[in-house]
Amino acid sequence: MHIVLHRPEIPPNTGNVGRLCVAIGARLHVVHPIGFSMDERAVRRAGLDYWRHVDLVEHVDDEAFWRWASGRRVHLFSTRGAAAYTQCRFEAADVLVFGRETVGLPAELLERHGAWRIPMVEGPIRSLNLGNAVSVIAYEALRQSRPQLFG
C-alpha cells in the first residue's frame, strides 16, 4: 500500500501519518512543494522513535509523482468525493492520495481522476484531521487487502 500526502502543510500530521505507515507496512509518499522541511523536529516528534523506520519516498513535484503512479491503481480522497470510501474495492498495492490540510486536492485532479469521500453528519465540521482521515481509509484498505490481520 502507498499513502500519498499531496503538498502537506503541517509537520505533525506528516509525522503521524508516517507512524501509521510503519504500523501497517505502507510506503509514505510526500509530493512537494510542502510547507515545511522534512527534517523538522515536529515531523520526527509526531512519528516518535518510529520515524527512522518510515519507508519514505519524496516526489519533487506533481509531474514526478504522476510519472511514478502511471499504470498503478490510484484512489483520491476528498470532502468533494462523489461516493463513500466504503464503496471502493482496495487491493494491496493501491495508491491512496490525500490533499493539503487547508484546501485538499486541486480541482483539476478531482475532475480528472474522481475521488472518494468519508461521510460525515451535517454540522460545522468541514473535514477530518488529515491523520484521522488517512487512518480511516488505510485501515479499510488493509481490512480488504489483508483480512488475515483482522482474524
Q: Which three cell numbers stand for residue 122?
A: 451535517
Q: Give percent of the chain with pLDDT exceeding 90.
A: 84
Q: CB within 8 A of 136, min separation 6: which ones? A: 85, 118, 128
Contact 28/20 with Cβ under 8 angstroms? Answer: no
Q: What is the pLDDT of residues 87-117, one digit of tens each?
A: 999 999 999 999 999 999 999 999 999 999 9
Per-residue pLDDT at 137: 99
Domains along the sequence of the chain with CATH: 2-150 (3.40.1280.10)
Per-residue pLDDT at 47: 62
Residues of the chain with pLDDT under 70: 40, 42, 46-48
CA–CA dist 22, 96 (Å, integer): 15
pTM score: 0.94
Contact 62/7 with Cβ under 8 angstroms? Answer: no
CA–CA dist 142, 25 (Å, integer): 10
The candidate with the shortest Cα–Cα distance to 51, out of 60, 65, 36, 40, is: 40
Q: Which three cell numbers stand for residue 93?
A: 498495492
